[in-house]
Amino acid sequence: MSGLNFKERLLNTLKGKPVDRVPVISITQTGIIELMDATGASWPEAHSDPEKMAELAFAAYDLTRLEAVRYPYCSTVLAEAMGCKVNLGSKCIQPYVISHPFSEDTDNIQFPKNLLEKARIPAVLKATDLLKEKVGENVPIIAGIEGPLTLFSHLTGVDSYMKWSTLNPEYATQCLNIATSACIEYSNELIKHGADVICVSEGIVCPDLSYPKIFESVVKPEYHRFCENTTGIKIIYICENSNPMLESLAECGFEGISIEEKVKEFQATKKMIGEKSCLIGNVSTSLTM
């Protein structure tokens, strides 16, 4: 067991197999300014240039000795490919959505043809190829995507998402189904290009924005479908205090759940979800680190 490389250690951990120690990785993103300055691969160019995207991700392993490479550096790639306008930000600001094409109605939301050829998706796939060439089979490659619910809220706006999920859950389910299908196709292509782990970032899966009843009836079935139809290892990252829905979330099929420090009583939380999923994080980057 002591001979495990970084990739073997992380994958064994997420599969519930014995390891010699805890992997030291970042699940969310590693594109910090110090690494931009050291490599010359900076935002916003690294969001769309595959060489710079790969170089910045590799630097987190090469220069800081984190035990994985993680890219890209935002949760807007799929949203842009499906019609949202995106501001790519600056060296200090992540990309963000500036238009919601289906904020008034979702009658025209459909699964786009040639999704994998649109917007920045080809750049991310190329960066995956480059990273695979750099790290081989020794270092895990973690590819981040926006989750189905985040993608849904980008396409419609948070207010419309909240309204439709509460007043017309059947309508919301139909829209979320399309978003999930896009996440599945994109994730599987990332795996084909060499990614080992898919990190699903969900910024609005918290009790304040996703009521437990709505989560159970609308969101959870789509998470099941995502996990069942996506190859490779899946991790979901949840913001805020997600404790009220963690037990249910652990039943969806994600090998790992990354939580913020706002989730208290970590040991009790781990006992609650048991062996159904691996808990990750729970460390404050601004205070502890």
**Residue listed under structure tokens 């994080």:** 281
For residue 162, being part of any structural domain is answered with yes
Q: How many domains does the chain have?
A: 1
Burial class (CB in 10 A: 0-12, 13-18, 19+), 176: buried
For residue 113, being part of any structural domain is answered with yes
For residue 288, being part of any structural domain is answered with no
- Find the domain containing 89 and state its range: 6-281
User: CA 276 → CA 73, 243, 279, distances in Å?
Assistant: 28, 15, 10
Question: Whole-angstrom Cα distance, residue 97 to residue 74?
Answer: 10
For residue 188, being part of any structural domain is answered with yes
Q: Of 123, 102, 140, 144, whose CA–CA distance to 45 is shortest?
A: 123
For residue 52, being part of any structural domain is answered with yes
Predicted pLDDT at 239: 82
**Residue listed under structure tokens 């649109």:** 118
Specify whether the CB–CB gap between 78 and 118 falls below 8 A: no
**Residue listed under structure tokens 């001979």:** 3
For residue 289, being part of any structural domain is answered with no
For residue 287, being part of any structural domain is answered with no
Phi, psi of 35 (to 5 degrees): -75, -35
Predicted pLDDT at 207: 65
The single-letter DSSP state of residue 46 is G
Question: Whole-angstrom Cα distance, residue 11 to residue 22?
Answer: 11
For residue 203, being part of any structural domain is answered with yes
Strand partners, 235: 199, 256
**Residue listed under structure tokens 């501001």:** 87
**Residue listed under structure tokens 């994600």:** 254
Alpha helices in the chain (DSSP H): 6-14, 33-39, 50-62, 77-81, 121-135, 148-156, 158-167, 169-192, 212-214, 220-229, 243-249, 266-273
Which residues of the chain are modeled with pLDDT < 50?
none
Structure token digits, residue 108: 């025209």
Q: What's this model's pTM, rounded to 2 decimal places?
A: 0.95
Maximum Cα–Cα distance across the chain: 56
Predicted pLDDT at 2: 66
Predicted pLDDT at 208: 67
CATH code of 221's domain: 3.20.20.210
